Structure 1
Amino acid sequence: MKTRFTELCGIKHPIMMGGMMWVGRAGLAAAVSEAGGLGTITALTQPTPEDLAKEIAAVRALTDKPFAVNLTLLPSMRETPYADYRRAIIEGGVKIVETAGNKPQEHIDDLKANGILVVHKCTSVRHALSAERWGVDAISIDGFECAGHPGEDDVPGLVLIPAAADKIRIPIIASGGFGDGRGLVAALALGAEGINMGTRFCATAEAPIHDIVKQTYVANDERSTNLIFRNLHNTARVARNSVSDEVVRILREPGAKFEDVAELVRGAKGRVLLETGDLDAGIWTAGQVQGLIHDVPTVRDLIERIMREAETIVSGRLAGMIG
């Protein structure tokens, strides 16, 4: 299946792995790339730029296929040396970078000057238009269904994707709510050139997280998420557990501030949850696509299944309707 995105990135299938904190590591990214998608390692999962350089080398030791690095620019509880992370990406010879977050122009300019393709993640058409003007090569457009930060407009993919496709000239990748061949066909029909999957790749054999967490994705349904930080205008979609329930409760109180929940949402606690399977150790991101996850396959089996489903839908059911 050829699209402008597969041609741009030199990949076989129009499927990209989303940037995921603590999960976007070399083993999973390489597995996605080896299976014909675009694997992605997450820069800030690595504690230092030097560690990121080692992780980039680790991917290269596992695959000779294209892969990307995600660089997310968001407020954090610690000072982040973004320029040094960017330098590690450039010096590591990475060819594709997914940027996300606030004020990316400096990073986009430097990456482009070094011949790197940039995919910028957006949650609204207006932000996507800005990114196109900045000179990025593709847009990953995040619908309200997504894990992580869906923005503040609450527009689902069924509307957001075609709204973006009507105005954006560069390739668009649909993100949020995708996990099977039906979603891929729908995204292409709405004007996207591929799909970006995060939560679905968490429930695979190669994902570097505890099996209890993977089985929780399988057991959960599309209602098993919480939206936190709504009153702070920094909405995040996470899995529903006792901790995220408590965060929602606290932030509903009049005058509630981030400091009131800071200890509950520390990233280090989320990492403990993912690594140990203690589902009440912290919070972890999860999208509404949980309702479409029913097993924990290998990455290759998942991608091949998605492509078979998509081809069957296009050549079978839809073709029959037109017949």
Structure 2
Amino acid sequence: MPIITPLTKLLNIRIPVVQGGMQWVGLPKLVAAVSNAGGLGIITALTQPNPAALRNAIKETRTLTSKPFGVNITLLPSINPPDYAGYARAAVEEGVKIFETAGNSPGELIKYFKSNGCVVIHKCTTIRHAQSAAKLGVDVLSIDGFECAGHPGEQDIGGLVLLARAAQDLKVPYLASGGIADARGVAAALALGASGVNMGTRFMCTVESPIHENIKKTIVKSSEQDTVHIFRTLHNTARVFKNKVSLEVVSIERRPGGAKFEDVRELVSGQRGRLVYETGDPDAGIWSAGIAVGLINDIPTCEDLLRTIEKGVEDVITNLNTVVVKSKL
């Protein structure tokens, strides 16, 4: 039976699963595979070196799928900010109608996308920020719990409570994000009021994922204890894979007197992180991973993964009916 939610109807997808926009990972082959399998694939704009390259990535994705897909634009603190407006304009001009935004002060981007008839999904880590984004006119909110890879915010609120709070206070449909990698997680998210889920780490470990095979095998061998938070003392917390580099960053942060970003800049370089995915060396740099690594035991195709999740969600919901005792009166 199909899983029908406000998200599947809004995005015209079969399965309420969105592939998170991941730096160096959200490339055309993976994006198309997710969309072809019934979910929503997301191109990561800032993985492309410039807006012209993003145009080419969008065109390439269109040669691989006729299904809906989106583009992620994440607003990052930077001395020399990327050409966010240029990326946004390039994607809109190429006909993209679904966007995932994240980061601080997304108002201008959201306004631009909405003025061009686009659907906007915005990622938040607190209910307060979600309510602010809803006022800006976003169509869907992605609620990131403390379990997520990347930046979980500074409040340390797990998904179980955060999603239930979202059900109480939000009028806009929302996705559950963080710690979800299988059918049980998707079913639980739906029970908590979400219209679907956002999965990042799980899609990193698929056949179509562009990262090195050795990193996929590293994820499979890992447990939920194999991630760590960096930048805690800098109030810019990020969950990453626990390796030699991330543990060195944590050690520097714990020094008497603390640390400044300059003290760890070289260790956390994005180019070093990219080498992890290209060379297969898990200790080459910092790389994002959620605690969902503890749930990942294989490297399926996106088609097999989403087919398994779809069937599994149906089974979980059906089995839950057995715990409801119906009155004989």
Superimposed CA distance per residue, residues 193-217 of structure 1 (whole angstroms, 9 cap, x where no aligned partner): 0010000000100000001100111
| 1:268 maps to 2:271 | yes
Question: Number of aligned pairs?
Answer: 322
Output one character per residue of 1:232-256: Cα deviation in whole Å (capped at 9) or x when no partner: 1110000000000000101112131
Q: Which amino acid aligns with 1:243?
A: V
Distance 2:91 2:56 in 1: 11
1:272-294, CA deviations, whole angstroms, 9 ceiling, x for partnerless residues? 11111011110100000011000
Structure 1 residues 200 and 158, CA gap change in structure 2 (3 angstroms): same
| SS of structure 1 residue aligned to 2:164 | helix
* 1:47-91, Cα deviation, whole Å (9 max, x unpaired): 111000100111111101000100000113643111111111111
Query: TM-score scaled by structure 2?
Result: 0.97
Q: Contact 2:267 / 2:285 at 8 angstroms: preserved in 1?
A: yes
In structure 2, the partner of 1:300 is: 303
- Counterparts of 1:1-323 in structure 2, within 5 Å, are 1-76=3-78, 78-253=80-255, 254-315=257-318, 317-323=319-325
The residue matched to 1:127 in structure 2 has which SS?
helix
For 2:21 and 2:200, how far apart are their aligned partners in 1? 7
Give unmatched runs, 5+ long, in structure 2: none
Hey, which bits of structure 1, 4+ residues long, moved more than 2 A? 76-79
SS of alignment partner, residue 231 of structure 1: coil
What is the letter of the counterpart of residue 104 of structure 2?
Answer: N
State the Cα distance separating 1:2 from its structure 2 match. Answer: 0.4
What secondary structure does 2:143 align onto? strand
Report if the CA contact (8 A) 2:252-2:258 is conserved.
no
Contact persistence 2:18–2:39 (CA under 8 A): yes
State the identity as a percent. Answer: 57
How many angstroms apart in 1 are the aligned matches of 2:26 and 2:78?
A: 18
Question: Structure 2: how far apart are the matches of 1:95 and 1:36?
Answer: 17
Q: Distance in 1 between matches of 2:89 and 2:268?
A: 29
Secondary structure of the structure 1 residue equivalent to 2:228 = strand
Tell me the distance in 2 between the aligned counterparts of 1:212 and 1:255: 34
Which stretches in structure 1 are left out of the alignment for 5+ residues?
none
Query: Distance between the aligned counterparts of 1:83 and 1:51, measured in 2?
Result: 14
CA distance in 1, matches of 2:323, 2:167: 25
Aligned-CA RMSD value: 0.8
What TM-score do the two structures reach when normalised by structure 1?
Answer: 0.98
